[in-house]
């Protein structure tokens, strides 16, 4: 597998996934030196036009989108009969793996992941793309926690006028919508339903619907109600559970009508806001503050009278008792307030001054003088200068008790825009991001129009609104250089040539034995070879050696004490500070600490030997050694 190179550029390294129509590999982009994900259409499906069209549909959908929560498309092509897509490689795990490993996902984490999925879907929907296969297996979470939506293999372009038979019921049965289950058409609300199922699974650690076969599961999507989330996960707030269930409504019209709407209400539910529910299609209890009271109940008590067996019903009207209690409570509170004012005088009240338009320092001083407690919150305002009060919760002239807290909203000035970073050096762009509170993520790639470490693009673009998650992607040029042709050059000359081109040389040099003494110590070939690559790309050397001409020395190694096995690596500094690997072995704790090893090189002389233990970046010790 490691020998296969697609389009003279992508070297397939290892298989990392397989689906119904494609195999996914981690690959090395020989031009940039970066890892990428290559998706190959399975050979047995290369002549099946349904799958070819589906593969092309994924490429078409991915090409319309560039978003930090979507696995971005880098290249599309064919190599012989092999159709392939090149995507960004996301090191990490699928959301399904995280659920399987952890069971329930903490509510705040589940909400954060869901909002990022919705952000990706909103971008897709804005571009006319319906995913139709949202499931945890298609959600990638990288090592830094960034969420990426993948696999638009069965996506549909919203303005497509025709549907094939295979287009009608698609997606994974545990996650697809009722309309997919019944063979009806799909729209963006079908993706909303699937997001609801994914959120349900994260919050509870289990699927809302499961069964012995696909038909049974599809039937449940159409007719069954899942176990309430709060029964399976009491730590989830009722409002968050409600948002999930609205998303999973059977009728598309009862769901959220956009990913943005669901994300907005999910944030409000997380904050515990009573203004969260814009609509309430479910036959469940609402969470608005004003509807918390349940419908009054009547209890019936029966008793037997005498020997006639007659019963009479005594009805206890709980409404009457509740109303009476409320009236008595109001009278009591009113009396207490009146008495406290009569006995304590009017010294416990104060008239609220006008704070709007004043600086926080000035308002705070006035509030302190009048024994008013103030709470400061901040908000952007395009018209009010920074540090000036925009609004107050208690209006001017209102009389309040001294222990009443007045909330003052202080302007943060106009909301900042994303700075223009294109053309800056990477370090300067990072500093600028930090100044405005953005977290930069760097993607490097060759760009012949920009020098090394120069930002050639950014997402979001300069001048746009600040992203909600505070993330910005910087596309940085690696610079471009050409791998020199060093075939048959002496090794030292080849290394000098390669370094002069702005490239690095891999210290683990591979040897090819030969009987031709004229080739001893010369370059056989390099990988990559004689192509344009990014600056600082690592070049591997393969050289000719004649075994009888190699130089050797037996050297004593002093190993440190250890409780377990250690790995020892020995290098020689052969060329201008460059280390060449000459020994690599493992030693167990019970082996002698003094070991004799035989070192070999194709040239002789006195060199600095460095000994490394267990891959530590700093050597354990150094000594001089002579090979002859």
Long-range contacts of 6-10 (CB under 8 A, 24+ apart): 6/38, 6/77, 6/79, 6/82, 6/84, 7/77, 7/79, 7/84, 8/531, 10/36, 10/38, 10/84, 10/86
Given the residues 44, 79, 133, 563, the one annotated as active site: 133
Other C-beta atoms lying within 10 Å of the C-beta of residue 611: 20
Output DSSP code: residue 547: G
Tokens, residue 1: 């597998």
Sequence-distant (≥ 6) Cβ neighbours of residue 433 within 8 angstroms: 419, 421, 439, 440, 472, 474
> Which residue in 167, 127, 130 sits closest to 152, CA to CA?
130
- What are the two backbone dihedrals, phi and then psi, of residue 219, each rounded to the nearest 5 degrees? -60, -40
Please write down the HEC assignment for all residues of 405-468: EEEEEEECCCCCECCCCCCCEHHHHHHHHHHCCCEEEEEEECCCCCCCCEEEEEECCCCCECCC
Strand partners, 29: 10
Q: Measured between alpha carbons, how far is 115 from 267 in angstroms, rounded to an integer?
A: 8
Q: Measured between alpha carbons, how far is 162 from 616 in angstroms, rounded to an integer?
A: 60
Other C-beta atoms lying within 10 Å of the C-beta of residue 48: 14
Question: How far is residue 610 CA from its own chain's centroid?
Answer: 41
Question: How far is residue 67 CA from its own chain's centroid?
Answer: 11
Three-state DSSP class for residue 554: strand
**Residue carrying the six token digits 């009969």:** 81
Rounded (5°) CA angle 447-478-76: 55
The answer to whether residues 113 and 139 touch, using CB atoms and an 8 Å cutoff, is: yes
- What are the two backbone dihedrals, phi and then psi, of residue 268, each rounded to the nearest 5 degrees? -65, -40
**Residue carrying the six token digits 């990490």:** 92
Q: Measured between alpha carbons, how far is 154 from 383 in angstroms, rounded to an integer?
A: 47
Task: Answer yes or no: 133 catalytic.
Answer: yes
- What are the two backbone dihedrals, phi and then psi, of residue 242, each rounded to the nearest 5 degrees? -65, -45
Q: Measured between alpha carbons, how far is 306 from 95 in angstroms, rounded to an integer?
A: 70
Q: Measured between alpha carbons, how far is 145 from 109 in angstroms, rounded to an integer?
A: 10
Q: Is 491 left (phi over 0), alpha (psi -120 to 50) or beta?
A: alpha
Which residues are known catalytic residues? 133
């Amino acid at each position: 597998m490691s020998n296969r190179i697609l389009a003279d550029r992508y070297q397939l390294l290892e298989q990392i996934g397989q689906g119904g129509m494609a195999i996914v590999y981690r690959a090395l982009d020989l031009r940039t030196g970066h890892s990428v994900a290559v998706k190959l259409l399975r050979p047995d499906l290369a002549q099946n036009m349904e799958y070819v069209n589906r593969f092309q549909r994924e490429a078409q959908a991915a090409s319309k989108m560039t978003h930090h929560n979507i696995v971005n498309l880098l290249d599309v092509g064919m190599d012989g009969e092999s159709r392939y897509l090149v995507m960004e490689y996301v090191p990490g795990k699928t959301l399904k793996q995280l659920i399987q490993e952890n069971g329930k996902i903490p509510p705040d984490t589940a909400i954060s992941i869901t909002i990022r999925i919705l952000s990706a879907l909103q971008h897709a929907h804005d571009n006319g793309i319906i995913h139709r296969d949202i499931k945890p297996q298609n959600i990638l979470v990288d090592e830094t926690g960034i969420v990426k939506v993948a696999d638009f293999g069965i996506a549909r372009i919203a303005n497509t006028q025709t549907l094939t038979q295979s287009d009608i019921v698609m997606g994974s049965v545990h996650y697809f919508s009722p309309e997919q289950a019944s063979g009806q058409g799909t729209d963006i609300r079908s993706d909303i339903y699937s997001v609801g199922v994914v959120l349900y699974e994260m919050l509870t650690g289990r699927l809302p619907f499961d069964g012995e076969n696909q038909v049974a599961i599809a039937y449940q999507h159409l007719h069954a109600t899942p176990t309430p989330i709060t029964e399976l996960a009491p730590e989830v707030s009722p409002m968050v559970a409600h948002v999930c269930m609205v998303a999973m409504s059977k009728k598309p019209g009862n769901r959220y009508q956009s990913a943005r709407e669901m994300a907005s209400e999910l944030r409000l539910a997380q904050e515990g806001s009573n203004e969260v529910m814009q609509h309430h299609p479910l036959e469940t209890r609402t969470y608005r503050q004003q509807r918390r009271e349940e419908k009054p109940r009547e209890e019936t008590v029966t008793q037997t009278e005498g020997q006639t067996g007659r019963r009479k019903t005594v009805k206890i009207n709980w409404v009457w008792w509740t109303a009476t209690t409320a009236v008595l409570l109001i009278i009591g509170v009113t009396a207490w307030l009146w008495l406290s004012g009569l006995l304590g005088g009017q010294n416990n009240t104060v008239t609220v001054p006008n704070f709007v338009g004043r600086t926080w320092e000035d308002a705070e001083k006035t509030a302190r003088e009048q024994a008013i407690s103030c709470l400061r919150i901040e908000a952007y305002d395009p018209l009010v200068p920074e540090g000036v009060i925009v609004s107050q919760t208690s209006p001017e002239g209102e009389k309040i008790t001294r222990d009443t807290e007045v909330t003052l909203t202080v302007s943060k000035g106009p909301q900042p825009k994303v700075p223009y970073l294109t053309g800056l050096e990477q370090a300067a762009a990072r500093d600028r991001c930090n100044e405005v509170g953005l977290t930069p993520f760097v993607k490097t790639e060759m760009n012949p129009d920009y020098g090394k470490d120069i930002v050639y693009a950014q997402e979001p673009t300069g001048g746009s609104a600040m992203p909600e998650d505070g993330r910005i992607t910087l596309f940085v040029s690696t610079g471009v250089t050409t791998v020199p042709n060093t075939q048959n050059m002496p090794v030292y000359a080849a290394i000098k040539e390669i370094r002069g081109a702005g490239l690095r040389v891999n210290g683990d040099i591979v040897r090819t034995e030969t009987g031709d003494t004229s080739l001893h110590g010369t370059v056989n070939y390099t990988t990559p070879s004689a192509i344009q690559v990014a600056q600082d790309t690592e070049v591997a050397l393969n050289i000719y050696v004649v075994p009888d001409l190699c130089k050797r020395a037996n050297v004593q190694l002093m190993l440190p004490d250890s409780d377990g096995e250690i790995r020892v690596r020995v290098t020689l500094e052969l060329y201008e500070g460059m280390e060449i690997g000459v020994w690599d072995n493992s030693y167990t704790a019970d082996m002698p600490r003094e070991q004799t090893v035989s070192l070999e090189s194709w040239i002789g002389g006195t060199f600095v030997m460095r000994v490394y233990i267990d891959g530590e970046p700093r050597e354990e010790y150094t000594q001089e050694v002579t090979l002859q």
